[in-house]
Amino acid sequence: MRIRVVGAGVMGRGIAQWAVTAGHTVELGDTRRESVEEAVGFVRGMLDRAAEKGRLGRAEADGAAARLVPLDAPDVPGEEVELVIEAVLEDLAVKTELFRRLEEVLPPAAVLATNTSSLPVTLIAAGLRQPERLIGLHFFNPVPLMKVAEVIPGARTRPGLAEWLAGTVRASGHAAVTVADTPGFLVNHAGRGLVTEALALLEERVAPVEAVDRIARDVLGLRMGPFELMDLTGLDVTAKVVDTIWEGFRYSERLRPSFLTPNRVAAGLHGRKTGEGFYRYGPEAPEPAPEPPVTGDARRAVRITGTGPDARALRAALTADGAEVLPEGGDAPDALVLVPVWGTGVARAVAELGLPRGRSFGLDPLSVDRPRRVLSVTPAADPVAARDARAVLAAGGHTVTAVRDTAGSVAQRLLSSIVSVAASVAERGLARPADIDTAVTAGLGYPHGPLAWGDRVGADRLLELQSALLDATGDPRHRPTRWVADRARLGLALTDPGTGPETAYG
């Protein structure tokens, strides 16, 4: 089809490259003719590079370049245009005025799509004479590599348009997910689970920035830790998105922002673009701090509490590492006590089980068979015993990060929040479960979709975790969603959309 892309900045040129590569003819317009010329040169250069690297045939790249049509202005008449994709300044007045002009010069059948990342589609459409023509089509940067787009119908978008647009996107090589017109749409909303919980862990001084990032990468398998991610995106951008989504969902506790961000934003600690954020960047930046050496006694005897699967897995892993693990039910006067904690803290186990407070430590079950194990240390721990516990857990080639004792430890809290926010999206019917997982894996690079990730843990086990977190902290941010609770009780997967009441009507 013939597509008009309005806005020749980073997003507009990326969308243009995607569309011409998929075989569409693309008109590219901007208020600045110089920007159009620069964008055309950029896209043609990217197509040439793709041909040189063998990702496109030479004839295919030349054909795509020939389908790129520069315009003198964004609102010139175009009788053959079937779809407009707007990618201009994220400003309501600017977008609305542009679409008003396009309404007048394009055929009535032409679909108007906005690439807004934060403005309500319905609000933009409200200023148009034909609001039913407008729909959201949100791509991610860089568009040719981030192979997913959100399709967002507004309150007045005509029926069938979302299905048509999603089909067009899929036929052009990207995944398409249909999302309700709500704050943050899908990917930005789902992404709040990781960063808000990471900031909460920092608020509580559970672990420093570097430790949280290392645990996120080495235990959960994320490509980047949450603080690395915020530095890459820019804390000023992240903070604005967090606040907008929290306010848009009427101050939901699950999405509550951190008190840490406003001062850091005001101080210019935005991340890579300012040279300093949670880390420092540039030629003067220090090298990453090395892992502290292991100084304890790895030969010290270990007693493992509990008889459940977590205790059995820990017992087997430490035995394989060559540790002296006491028989089940055994004890020794100076033995370390390791508690596999799930949603609770070591201090609670010390009190409830009468454990020796100086020699008792927690171990996150999620980290048992991972490259990095996570050791929880209470305020009453003996320092020598803490060093010995780290040495025992490091045997077999593992790296061990020690964190402050807290309900759920670090990895459990991050994972619980990721799944919980996604489950809240599903519970509200803002997107289908399959679309949630598709969008998050493609848009955020998680190793699993959040609902599928929850299924790997198990809905019943996840409910146990979240209920324990809520009980231990009293913080409503940990309240289990109905989506998780019902599926755990009914034996359904979190990815299962379930049966709706409409089926009762035949």
Show which residues are catalytic: 117, 138, 150, 188
Rounded CA-CA distance 16/21 in Å is 8
User: What would the two tokens of residue 437 be?
Assistant: 């997982």
Classified as helix, coil or strand, 457 is helix
SS3 of residue 56 by DSSP: coil
**What is d(CA 338, CA 346) in angstroms, rounded to the nearest whole number?**
9
Q: Are the C-beta atoms of 336 and 300 separated by less than 8 Å?
A: yes
The enclosing H or E element of 475 equals none
Give Cβ neighbours of residue 269 (< 8 Å, ≥ 6 apart). Answer: 235, 276, 277, 278
Question: What Rg value do the Cα atoms of the chain yield, rounded?
Answer: 26
Six token digits for residue 59? 């004839």
Pairing status of strand 372-377 against strand 111-114? unpaired
Residue 214's contacts (CB-CB under 8 Å, 6 or more residues apart) are 225, 372, 399, 401
- Residue from 408, 429, 426, 440 nearest 484 by CA: 426
Q: What are the tokens at 315? A: 């017992």
Q: Which two tokens stand for residue 302?
A: 């270990």
CA dist 8 to 5, 48, 90, 117, 137, Å? Answer: 8, 19, 14, 17, 16
Whole-number Å distance between alpha carbons of 54 and 73:
35
What b-and-e string marks burial along 232-249, b requiring 16 or more CB atoms within 10 Å of the CB? Answer: ebbbbebbebbeebbebb
